[in-house]
C-alpha cells in the first residue's frame, strides 16, 4: 500500500465517523444536549485562605440567614438533592448540628439546577422533599439563582466556613469540629 491510499482511506474513515456522529446528534437530541451541557464546565471561584468570605442571605427552613449578621462561626453546606453523597451526609450533619448548633451557625443551600429525580428542574418543593425524606434537622434553603454556589464554588469542594469576627475564610474545608466528614470530594456530585 502506498501513502496516497492510506491518506485517502484515513480521510474516508474520518468522513464516515463525522457522518455517524451527525446522525446520532440528530436522532438523540436529549443525549446530545447532555453532552453539550457537560462541556460547559463550571469555573471554580478562588477563595484564598484568610480572604473575606462572600456575604449572602437566603430564606431557610429556620428563617432568614444573613451571613453579614452572624456572630458565630458558619458551617455552609452547598448540596444537590440528587447527589447520593449529599443525601447520606444529612445524617452526619444532623449529628454535628445537634452537637454544635448552639456554637456554630449551620446552613445548607441547594447548589444544583437539577431536581432530586435527576431529570426535572430543582425547585423549593424539591428541596423540601429532600429535607423531609432525609430527615434534615439543620436550616436548609433553596437557591433558585444558585447565588451561593456561584460565590463559593470550589469545584470538588462544596463547603466553606468563616470566622464570625473577620468574615475570613480560615480553611477551604469546614474542619472546625473535633470530628468532621468535610473533605475534598473526588466524586462528581
| DSSP β-bridge partners for residue 75 | 106, 161
The fraction of the chain above a pLDDT of 90, given in percent, is 39
Instruction: State residue 163's pLDDT score.
Output: 41
Work out the widest C-alpha separation in the chain, in whole angstroms: 79
pLDDT at 51: 78
Q: Is 141 exposed, middle or buried (0-12, 13-18, 19+ CB in 10 A)?
A: buried
- Residue 169, pLDDT > 50, answer no
DSSP state for residue 137 in the 8-state scheme: -
Residue 10: band (very low, low, confident or very high) from pLDDT cuts 50, 70, 90: low
- pLDDT (0 to 100) of residue 135: 97
Percentage of residues of the chain with pLDDT beyond 70: 60
pTM over 0.75: no
Over residues 14-68, the pLDDT tens digits come to 666 676 776 766 676 655 454 444 434 556 666 677 778 889 999 999 999 999 9
Tell me the pLDDT of the chain averaged across its residues.
74
Least confident of 79-83, 148-152, 161-165: 161-165
Cell numbers found for residue 86: 449529599
Residue 52's pLDDT is what? 80
Per-residue burial over 14-24, b if 16 or more Cβ lie within 10 Å, else e, is eeeeeeeeeee
pLDDT of residue 90: 95
Q: Which residue has the cell 439546577?
A: 113
**Top-confidence residue, 25 or 90:** 90
Q: 78-92, 93-107, 150-164: which range is least confident on average? A: 150-164
Please say whether the structural domain 57-162 has been given the CATH code 3.40.30.10.
yes
State how far the Cα of 64 lies from the Cα of 60, in Å rounded to an integer.
Answer: 6
C-alpha 37/C-alpha 180 separation (Å) is: 33
- Could you tell me which residue, 79 or 158, shows the higher pLDDT? 79
Answer whether residue 102 shows pLDDT above 60: yes
Mean pLDDT, rounded, for 157-169 = 42
Helix, strand, coil percentages (3-state) for the chain, rounded to 5, are 40, 15, 45
Amino acid at each position: 500500500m502506498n501513502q496516497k491510499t492510506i491518506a485517502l482511506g484515513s480521510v474516508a474513515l474520518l468522513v464516515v465517523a463525522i457522518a455517524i456522529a451527525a446522525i446520532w446528534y440528530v436522532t438523540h437530541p436529549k443525549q446530545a444536549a447532555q453532552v453539550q451541557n457537560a462541556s460547559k464546565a463550571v469555573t471554580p471561584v478562588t477563595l484564598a485562605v484568610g480572604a473575606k468570605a462572600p456575604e449572602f442571605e437566603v430564606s431557610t427552613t429556620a428563617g432568614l440567614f444573613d451571613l453579614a449578621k452572624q456572630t458565630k462561626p458558619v458551617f455552609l453546606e452547598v448540596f444537590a438533592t440528587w447527589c447520593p453523597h449529599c443525601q447520606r451526609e444529612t445524617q452526619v450533619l444532623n449529628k454535628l448540628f445537634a452537637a454544635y448548633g448552639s456554637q456554630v451557625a449551620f446552613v445548607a443551600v441547594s447548589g444544583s439546577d437539577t431536581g432530586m429525580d435527576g431529570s426535572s428542574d430543582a425547585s423549593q418543593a424539591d428541596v423540601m422533599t429532600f429535607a423531609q425524606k432525609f430527615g434534615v434537622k439543620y436550616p436548609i434553603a433553596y437557591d433558585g439563582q444558585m447565588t451561593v454556589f456561584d460565590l463559593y464554588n470550589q469545584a470538588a469542594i462544596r463547603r466553606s466556613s468563616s470566622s464570625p469576627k473577620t468574615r475570613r475564610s480560615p480553611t477551604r474545608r469546614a474542619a472546625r469540629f473535633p470530628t468532621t466528614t468535610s473533605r475534598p470530594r473526588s466524586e462528581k456530585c
